[in-house]
Amino acid sequence: MKILTCPLNGPRPVSEFFYWGEVRPMPNPAAASDDEWADYVFNRNGAPGVKREWWCHTPSNTWFIAERDTEKDVVLKTYFYTGEE
Amino acid sequence: MISALAVSPVAEIATLLAPAAQPAAVARLGIADVSATARYGCKGPGTIAWLENLGLPVPPQPNSWLPLDGGGLIARLGFTEFLIEGPDALIAPLASAPRAAGVYPVLRQDAALILGGARLDELLRQTCNVNFRPLDPATRPVVLTSMVGVGVTVIPELRNGQPFVRVWCDGTYGHYLWETLLGIAVELGGGNVAAHHFN
């Protein structure tokens, strides 16, 4: 059983979580070109590596960030989102 | 949002054991439906100050609870969401009080169950991924987890020296959760009992 650690509720089986994709800053829709906007809407980065991802602990609806190495399938750390640096 | 249900989500399937059989079932593993208890839910950044202004104690830690004077409890679910449950005299004024800025109602039409008895841990190990044994009921923990696939809020306690849990889930899952837990309780020598046996 895979275990993921919610920053609020602690270690739980991954079946209690929902994955919502990589953290991707949205370009300014008023300033972005059509190509930039289409890239944001339609394209995803499938290359393996360390990624920041949105996850949700569904019983408590707690959203947080997991840094996950998708090549090694290892979660490096989890923490609450505090805005883009 | 006032949430005293007129009819429990499991009313039509909750059939009590014969009165003479209930004390023995409670000692092993009793399950009771307490969904009709009045409860109130609220959340938001202004909730803590609003509850304190109403004279309610606020659990200092996320995922913890406190008992209320006159019966009932207040549970802190995460950082700024609260579940308050108790007698109508407590809940009705709370539900009708003007809400402050940053306080949002949460509809609570839960199925609420209580389970207790010597074999409770066996049921929890079959149905839930959280190990309840290391938890200290004296610290008043609240556990939000999944039980037989249903998102639940659980408060573990000790009652009369026996392990005891309160369980809340979305009322639409109540039928399934009740049937599943009752089936296991019966297998473990328990059954559906009246809630007063746990007092």
Q: Each residue of B102-156: pLDDT tens digit? A: 999 999 999 999 999 999 999 999 999 899 999 999 999 999 999 999 999 999 9
- Provide the domain limits for residue A47: 3-26+43-79
- Measured CA to CA, the distance from residue B156 to residue B179 in angstroms comes to 21
CA B170 vs CA A22, B91, B152, B178, B191: distances in Å: 30, 19, 8, 12, 22
Within a domain: residue A65? yes
pLDDT in tens, B158-185: 988 899 999 999 999 999 999 999 999 9
Give the model's pLDDT for residue B177. Answer: 97
* C-alpha separations of B79 from A24, A72, B111, B153 in Å: 26, 33, 23, 15
Domain total of chain A:
1
CB contact set of B149 (below 8 Å; sequence gap of 6+)? none
Judged against a pLDDT cut of 90, whether residue B70 lies above it is answered with no
Residue-wise pLDDT tens digits, A29-42: 999 999 999 999 99
Residue B52: phi, psi to the nearest 5? -65, -40
Q: Phi/psi of residue B109, each to 5°?
A: -110, 55
- Residue A60: count of CB within 10 angstroms of its CB: 23
Beta bridge partners of A64: A55
Judged by CB atoms closer than 8 Å, whether chains meet at A58 and B62 is answered as no
Inter-chain touch A9–B152, beta carbons under 8 Å: no
A85 pLDDT tier (thresholds 50, 70, 90): low
pLDDT higher than threshold 70 for residue B4:
no
Domains and their CATH numbers in chain B = 19-36+108-198 (3.30.1360.120), 38-106 (3.30.70)
- What pTM was estimated for this model as a whole? 0.91
- Residue A54, domain CATH: 3.30.2270.10
Does B135 lie at the interface with A, CB-CB under 8 angstroms?
no
CA distance A23 to B147: 30
Substitution target in A16, A17, A60, A62 with the highest count of B β-carbons within 10 Å is A60
The answer to whether residue B6 scores a pLDDT higher than 90 is no
Prediction ipTM score: 0.87
Give a yes or no: residue A47 inside a domain.
Answer: yes
Q: What is the pLDDT of residue A38?
A: 97
Q: Do the domain assignments include residue A61? A: yes
Chain B residues whose CB is inside 8 A of the A58 CB are 146, 151
- The one-letter amino acid at B175: H
